[in-house]
Structure 1
């Protein structure tokens, strides 16, 4: 079954296709686009106009992926208002899967989620007749993510339904569809060439992820850094009958504080760590019952999915702890790491690929909508991955908004602000941001954590004829999202 692998990138932020960030990004628009379609509802019954929806899905998938938002009503030509879904609306993603697959030569794996949102404050400059319709049905909405296909996706049979007693045929077997602007159309020869080019890149990307790249010519760089040295063993033992307060107090006596210094995770009544629990000098040895301590090879733990999640979380904690020792702060809800700001602007020195330079990591700016100043911070998310029995550190550049240079804000207004700020603060130096953060964590050298983990300072590179294709490149979003002529502006302070 064809399914997108990895995330998507929107304005330098790599994320999952149905994350809150993506949904916030999509719902700022009232107009359809090559990757976005609005529908009031969706009907999967046999007599319904579902072939029209199927045509859109074929077009999205051949184009490179897209989203269908449910709960929007067309207000006027290509302007849609979020009215909401009725509370008795029932939608089962598996039924959509089955219905579409019955028309397609290849199955396609959809993602679907629902969310609730009050949009009444999102369009302050809209006309009254538009505002009156907002959330007029409910605050319930749905979104379908259509992934990019890895093969040309075409119908296997006729797509037809009845209109006023007459049959309407939407497509025939082997028809090809593509997104042109807001329409799902039969592609021109130029557009067919674009589909072929995308499929070539998509399959090349999949071949890279499988460890067997199809072509090798030039050097491309990733946001992955090989972990050259890993812990050999995992230690675990049954936790003593302590509550959390007692554990924190005991570890503080052992000079292990604050809490983000903790290098262990609870699992099935055990404390798991890379530190030798049989060594009485380890502060964690005092938290486990003697005689229950076990040592097992890390190589065995990564074979079990449940145990691997435990190991992965401990590794991620180790990396976050190391970064925080360098003066980088942690946003503890989504585990983003960032530099706080004391002044209007904060800059950090680093050695880029070309020369020593200063990078702005935080700056103060004025938000007219909120009538106050806030801070914008570059940030990143660190995550350990395992491919083909090798470990890598993945660096995902991002950004966050704070109230005073330190206190992070995350309410819905800020979510909309982040999206708007993305348009104005956009820059394409994705690799440069990745290299900046790895430089800061390791101070320009390989990152050494304890005596059991070493992370390369150099990104994984590949010799290839083309770069990795993300499902929908950030520049594509930037070019195709129309600017709102009456939209609010965000100015630097």
Structure 2
């Protein structure tokens, strides 16, 4: 059985991995193979033996792909009337496991996400309708090694299903650590597989290709850190004081950190019109060079934290909401949906649905799904950058974030199919909105580039621009002197 990307070839016919006839074909196997494993059940709960499943996933993916069928158990031959090595007993009626949860738990052990396919199905076995589940594991495009040990417990005793940094492979019907010759075979398979995957969209050529990232260079940071002796001992006392002094005010845009008995901020503590001025003793205010704080670990962390707080306030100034605990920005809505316009890469204006009310089957109620981005300042190679990670948040009222395990599955599912070009467009959307289509000027001396960090490589695919982009270019091309703005529709939630 040959694997081609997310399809499988059976009798020279390319099929979807979990098509009905593929499932029937696999279920007809009397025993396990290098690309097929049977499991009696699968428990995704905490402290379960799910890491044993993860080991099989790593081994199959390194080996070139494969399947797990859940609901088939080894035959102990206690019933002499039942023949064969395995029995298709099926699963209990109350068995439930969803793809988002499985995906999340598998990818917790790797830096290279494995996009499995999973479904539950029923089949007639010995005159009875029985429930099964099946998981398809695609071939990896790099040598997979777990990033941590696969630890689980049985009767309180700790076990290890697999070891960190160890590649696993299928040898016969077992998932085991790969020996050097097997590693070499995996790497050769990856080279061949990657080349074949490239053929699906174009031939690989020795051409220079630009790669865009989701990080943006910080052009400048505030030169001074203002320091004052704190009047109060913590944030809650600070807020209580401000609420008493300014009754009726709902939001106080504070961007500071408590450090020892001091308050530290980029805001001018000597300015009597600044809220931060209310939180310090007025006869003990000073400032220091920001640079002097970048050579000390704890102090550098405070600088990074203050930069993140300023980014959050910048988002609020642009009409967004900022969820401080997770550093996520998103647009609230008072209607059933909200649309934001932004200038695209094609010199036109596009509309993006950033919040929308939808029915959530998992919660049995309607919720709002908001496009969101996690914004964080990171330091790489001695320089600061803004990193944008795309995500979603859920709210019940269009404004305030809802949290919980079931809400998390909605976020995972709704973001599951965001890939390369669309990902770049969404990253550019957020940086444009943060800076009003210009460099993001958070403060006079805190500026972030609107252009993503990019690099080039000397091998790529010629004419691998998505068809939609080529069509847009052809249909909207006009001579330079007659260029005009075009309106377009961007992706929906």
Q: Does 1:223 align with 2:229?
A: no
Supply the distance in 2 between the matched residues of 1:454 and 1:217 (Cα, whole angstroms). Answer: 30
Larger relative contact order, structure 1 or 2 (CA cutoff 8 Å, min sep 6): 1
Match of 1:418 in 2: 411
**Equivalences for residues 461-476 of structure 1 within 5 A:** 461-465=454-458
TM-score, normalised with respect to structure 2? 0.55
Closer, same or farther in 2 for the Cα pair 1:154/1:249, shift >3 Å? closer
Q: Using a 3 Å threshold, how does the CA distance of structure 1 residues 62 and 190 change in structure 2: closer, same or farther?
A: closer
1:337 aligned onto 2:329: yes
Within the alignment, does 1:322 sit opposite 2:314 as a pair? yes
- Matching of residue 266 in structure 1 with residue 258 in structure 2: yes
Counterparts in 2 of 1:80 and 1:143: CA distance versus 1, 3 Å? farther
Partner of residue 450, structure 1: 443
Kept in 1, the 8 Å contact 2:391–2:411? The answer is no
Cα distance in 1 between the residues matched to 2:130 and 2:168: 43
Which of 228, 232, 253 aligns to 1:237? It is 228
Cα distance in 1 for residues equivalent to 2:443 and 2:329: 20
CA-CA distance at 1:371 after TM superposition: 3.9
- Please report the TM-score for the alignment, with normalisation by the length of structure 1: 0.55
State the secondary structure of the residue aligned to 1:379: strand
Deviation at 1:245? 5.8
Do the aligned partners of 2:222 and 2:445 also contact (CA within 8 Å) in 1? Answer: yes
Shift of the 172–281 alpha-carbon distance from structure 1 to 2, 3 Å rule, reads: closer
Deviation at 1:319, TM superposition (A): 0.7
The answer for the alignment partner of 2:388 in structure 1 is: 395
Cα RMSD (Å): 5.5
- Could you tell me which residue of structure 1 aligns to residue 82 of structure 2? none
CA distance in 2, matches of 1:141, 1:432: 45
Unaligned runs of 5+ in 2: 1-33, 44-51, 65-69, 74-86, 96-108, 112-118, 124-128, 134-153, 198-205, 461-491
Aligned to 2:453: 460
String of CA shifts for 1:358-401, please: whole Å, max 9, x gaps: 11111222234544322221111110011122111111111122
- Partner residue of 2:181? 175
Q: Note the C-alpha offset of 1:175.
A: 2.9
Q: Distance in 1 between matches of 2:224 and 2:38?
A: 51
Aligned equivalents of 2:393, 2:293: Cα separation in 1: 35
Q: CA deviation at 1:326?
A: 1.3
**For residues 243 and 375 of structure 1, do their structure 2 counterparts lie closer, same or farther at Cα, with a shift above 3 Å needed?**
closer
With over 3 angstroms needed to count, the CA separation of the structure-2 counterparts of 1:306 and 1:455, relative to structure 1, is same
- Correspondence 1:49-64 to 2 at 5 A: 59=59
CA contact (8 A) 1:63 1:148 kept: no
TM-superposition CA deviations, 1:398-431 (whole Å, max 9, x none)? 1122223224322222223333334578785101
Displacement of 1:190 after TM fit? 3.6
| Structure-2 separation of matches of 1:37 and 1:148 | 26
Correspondence 1:312 to 2:318: no
Aligned equivalent of 1:348, options 340, 354, 376: 340
Q: Tell me, what secondary structure is at the counterpart of 1:175?
A: helix
8 Å CA contact 2:374, 2:391 repeated in 1: yes
- 1:142-157 → structure 2 map (5 Å cutoff): none
Cα deviation digits, residues 152-194 of structure 1 (max 9, x gap): x699xxx9xxxxxxxx99678523249xxxxxxx649544545
1:358 equivalent in alignment to 2:358: no
The aligned residue for residue 377 of structure 1 is: 370
CA contact (8 A) 1:248 1:259 kept: no
Asked whether the equivalents of residues 278 and 293 of structure 1 are also in contact (C-alpha less than 8 Å), the reply is yes
Shift of 1:279: 5.1
CA 1:79–1:441 in structure 2 vs 1: closer, same or farther (change >3 Å)? farther
**Which residue number corresponds to residue 24 of structure 2?**
none
* Structural mapping, 1:9-20, within 5 Å: none
Q: What is the distance in 2 between the residues matched to 1:284 and 1:236?
A: 11
2:341–2:352 Cα contact (<8 Å) kept = yes
The answer to whether residue 301 in structure 2 is matched with residue 295 in structure 1 is no
Equivalent residues of 1:58, 1:177 under 8 A apart: no
**8 Å contact from structure 2 (residues 395, 402) kept in 1:** yes
CA contact (8 A) 2:219 2:449 kept: yes
Does structure 1 conserve the Cα–Cα contact (< 8 Å) formed by 2:355 and 2:368?
yes
CA distance in 2, matches of 1:144, 1:125: 30
Q: How many pairs align?
A: 350
